[in-house]
Amino acid sequence: MDHFLYRDGALHAEDVAISDIAAAVGTPFYIYSTATLERHYRLFEEALAGLPHLICFAMKSNGNLAVIRTLAELGAGIDVVSAGEYLKARAAGVPGDRIVFSGVGKTREEMRLALDGGIRQFNVESEPELLALNEVALSMGVRAPITVRVNPDVDAKTHEKIATGKKENKFGIPISRARAVYAEAAALTGIEVVGIDVHIGSQLTDLEPFEQAYLKVADLTRQLRADGHDIHRLDLGGGLGIPYERSNAAPPLPLDYGAVIKRTVGDLGCEVEIEPGRLISGNAGLMVSRVIYVKSGEEREFLILDSAMNDLVRPSMYGAHHDIVPVIEPAPGTEMRPYDVVGPVCETGDTFAKQRPLPPIAAGDLVAFRSAGAYGAVMASEYNARPLIPEVLVKGDQFAVIRARPTYDELINRDTIPQWL
């Protein structure tokens, strides 16, 4: 469920007409619904009720400070994967003890930054990283809290570019080597072992891979405790999928996911962490564009928009589907016609949809891409010297620009011409 609905024939974000925002900020732009962000976060809270837990929003899905602050005020932790994300989380008001640092390539500088500013734990992904973290911690006179990310070799049954839990993926330590790595960690005086981490991928629409992975984590927990390790925290990752196509069957609900967690690891007495991103922010956002031209080809019609693959790369990068709807509601019984929906970038890959059935649309009309709140703005670029598009947050009948569109002067002035030219 989201809070983007038609009222009196016009698409609204909560109580604000999308067309009013377009008139105020120009197109294209991203828009997020506070009510939807809050609702989705609370669904996970309800799903884990009865277990000690922390929900750490995966900031890589949406890193806007206002979005992070909205979730932090509900009690969310944050899962970060870089120094920049760590600093943004702190700037948004998230305390260090609610920040988890993930990622396969943490540098010593990033480790030092997080240890100095406060961190809940590092999710360690390799033995070289473990040794480097120990060195940094000892140089600072502190102990670094860690989990070790284990790779359970479970097929998440998702897109190959976002699967992370198979043995050929770059993430984590093979679960078969976990006991040896934990023994190594326990011998390092700059390291404090607090738990286990696992994350098998993103956009999962089947609970079975979660169950397989979490059962392996439960077995490992018992083995490590028998070896003398104090395993009291389980970071179970994220990855629960969202319904990008409204016509398809809905993915499992957070409540169903929570039942899997309780069934597999709920008897271990551990604090549970999960790291949802897409399910919290995905359906909480739209990208709104204006049609520049309707172009008739020999065999098809093209809707040429003012947004492009640099603004929303998921269709080009993953072949991903986003529902596209007109901002003005079509009359009941309107006959659909197929369009190729494309952007103005000089690449054939700058295509959002092919032969997508839509009501008749004219130049100047506004269209909205649904489910664009995750991996939209955060993956955008300024390819073709196209400035990043604004982000807008709505709450009730209010809206605010939470990231402004850069001017062309700002874009140009980021470059420096050396004096010899």
Catalytic residues: 346
- The residues pairing with 97 across neighbouring beta strands, listed in sequence order, are none
Cβ neighbours, 10 Å, residue 28: 24
Residue 35 backbone phi and psi in degrees, to 5: -60, -35
Distance in angstroms (rounded) separating the CA atoms of residues 420 and 94: 46
Of 165, 173, 164, which is closest to residue 146 (Cα–Cα)?
A: 173
Indicate the residue type of 401.
V
By DSSP bridging, strand 99-101 and strand 173-174 are unpaired
Contacts of 136 (CB under 8 A, 6+ apart): 108, 111, 112, 115, 144, 190
Contacts of 16 (CB under 8 A, 6+ apart): 394, 397, 398, 399
Tokens standing for 328?
Answer: 């003005």
By DSSP bridging, strand 285-296 and strand 301-305 are antiparallel
Contacts of 360 (CB under 8 A, 6+ apart): 334, 335, 337
Q: In 198-343, at which residue ranges do the beta strands (DSSP E only) sit?
A: 233-235, 271-274, 285-296, 301-305, 324-326, 337-342
Distance in angstroms (rounded) separating the CA atoms of residues 75 and 118: 17
